[in-house]
């Protein structure tokens, strides 16, 4: 709503899984890079935030890249606004998450993707179809999974009776864990066995755009953190509301190993093994006591 001098701005409060913030509604032109790719967007100017976790995080803001169904209104959705304004070469963005031990930085690309971020270049990018309008309404970048395999054996989580049933999987680079319906997560963890240093590969098999399937393989080091005296799975059971679930959410456990591309024009998601540097990041110096 247009403001006059002295008017109080509209405010709202957002609660996340591990934090809470309050902000004022603001409208401005947001531009990306030196090419002046711009869109008029609405966003929140934060006025208050919970101490945890924001005081411990190294960034100053949150850039949401979900689809319009998750937004407070159409103008709050950057993907939609870039697409509507026609200012970006393509309504596509790609995310590279750094290896936490490597001497490299994470990267987001708007208008396309960087083939050099893929182990096999363009040939290493596999496109997965989305449901289109339904996904835009629900708000998640969602693809169809046929089943999950452990030690090469199918678990039959998505209608493993030979039917055409599928599990729905949301790709979310802002989520640190992999999450799924409680009963299915329980079966997956039972198949994996005890958490330890010798964990099996877990394969998620997706429908591919060109027909056939694409196998996304998670190693033990991707979905669990093990040390000499402790081990914890990065797989969480979550019972989502009926309007959203049943739904799997694939997070950073996968996207530190896989480069991902999000295409809002052709309604597809691309994935391929990410190319990481072999150089190791030097350990940070401790603070003086």
Number of residues in the chain:
289
Residue 133: its pLDDT value, please?
Answer: 59
Smallest CA-to-CA distance from 143 within 107, 172, 120 is with 172
Residue with tokens 């924001």: 54
pLDDT at 234: 94
What 3-state class would DSSP assign to 112? coil
pLDDT value at residue 289:
47
Residues in a beta bridge with 151: none
Residue 161 in any domain: the answer is yes
Neighbours of 126 (CB within 10 A): 21
Dist CA 215 CA 257 (whole Å) = 13
Q: What is the pTM of this model?
A: 0.85
The answer as to whether 52 is a domain residue is no
Per DSSP, which regions of 97-243 are E strands?
107-110, 126-129, 141-150, 153-154, 167-171, 178-180, 202-207, 213-218, 224-226, 231-233, 235-237
Q: Determine, yes or no, domain membership for 147.
A: yes
Let me know if residue 71 belongs to a domain. no
Q: Is residue 39 part of a domain?
A: no
Q: 80 is written with which tokens?
A: 């939609």
The number of C-alpha atoms within 13 Å of 141 and in the hemisphere containing its C-beta is: 28
Total domain count, the chain:
1
**Distance, CA of 32 to CA of 207 (rounded, Å):** 33
Paired with 41 in beta bridges are 28
258-263 and 92-96 as β-strands: parallel, antiparallel, unpaired?
A: antiparallel
**pLDDT, one tens digit for every residue, the chain (289 residues):** 566 666 677 788 887 767 888 988 888 888 877 667 788 889 888 888 888 888 877 777 788 888 877 777 888 888 788 777 766 667 889 999 999 888 899 999 988 999 999 999 999 999 999 976 566 667 889 999 999 999 999 999 997 545 568 899 999 998 889 999 999 999 999 999 999 888 999 999 999 997 889 999 999 999 998 887 889 999 999 988 777 778 999 999 999 999 999 998 888 999 999 999 887 766 655 555 4
Is residue 15 in some structural domain? no
Return the beta strands (E) in 11-64 as ranges.
11-16, 19-32, 37-49
Phi/psi for 117 (5° steps) reads -80, -5
Residues 6+ positions from 108 with CB-CB distance below 8 Å: 93, 94, 95, 96
Question: Is 128 a domain residue?
Answer: yes
Q: How many CB atoms lie within 10 A of CB 60?
A: 7
Domain range holding 171?
A: 92-273
Backbone phi, psi, residue 15, to 5°: -110, 125
pLDDT at 1: 58
Name which of 245, 135, 253, 254 is nearest 182 in CA terms. Answer: 245
CA 92 to chain centre: 15
Residue 68 lies in a domain: no
Number of C-alpha atoms within 13 angstroms, CB side, residue 229?
0
- Nearest Cα to Cα of residue 248 among 163, 173, 142, 150: 142
> How far are the Cα atoms of 49, 148, 206, 217, 226 from residue 169, in angstroms, in the given order?
30, 12, 9, 15, 26
Answer for the pair 115, 122: CB distance below 8 angstroms, yes or no. Answer: yes
CATH number, domain of 116, equals 2.40.70.10
Gap between the terminal Cα atoms of the chain: 52
């Amino acid at each position: 709503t247009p403001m006059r001098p002295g008017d109080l701005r509209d405010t709202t409060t957002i609660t996340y899984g591990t934090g809470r913030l309050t902000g004022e509604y603001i409208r401005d032109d947001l531009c990306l890079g030196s090419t002046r790719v711009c869109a008029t967007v609405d966003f929140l100017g934060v006025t208050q935030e919970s101490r945890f976790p924001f005081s411990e995080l190294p960034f100053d803001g949150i850039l949401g890249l979900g689809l319009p169904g998750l937004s407070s209104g159409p103008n709050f959705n950057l993907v939609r606004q870039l697409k509507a304004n026609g200012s970006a070469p393509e309504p596509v963005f790609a995310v590279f998450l750094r290896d936490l031990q490597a001497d490299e930085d994470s990267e987001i690309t708007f208008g396309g993707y960087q083939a050099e971020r893929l182990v096999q270049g363009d040939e290493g990018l596999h496109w997965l179809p989305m449901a289109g309008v339904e996904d835009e309404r629900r708000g998640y970048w969602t693809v169809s999974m046929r089943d999950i395999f452990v030690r090469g054996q199918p678990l039959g989580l998505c209608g493993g009776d030979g039917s055409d049933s599928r599990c729905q999987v949301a790709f979310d680079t802002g989520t640190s864990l992999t999450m799924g319906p409680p009963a299915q997560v329980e079966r997956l963890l039972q198949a994996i066995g005890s958490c330890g240093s010798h964990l099996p590969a877990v394969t998620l098999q997706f429908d591919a755009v060109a027909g056939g399937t694409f196998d996304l393989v998670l190693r033990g080091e991707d979905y669990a953190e093990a040390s000499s005296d402790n081990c914890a799975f990065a797989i969480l059971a979550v019972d989502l509301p009926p309007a959203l679930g049943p739904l799997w959410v694939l997070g950073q456990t996968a996207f530190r190993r896989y480069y991902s591309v999000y295409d809002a024009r052709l309604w597809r998601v691309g994935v391929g093994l990410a190319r990481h540097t072999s150089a190791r990041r030097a350990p940070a110096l401790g603070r003086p006591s």
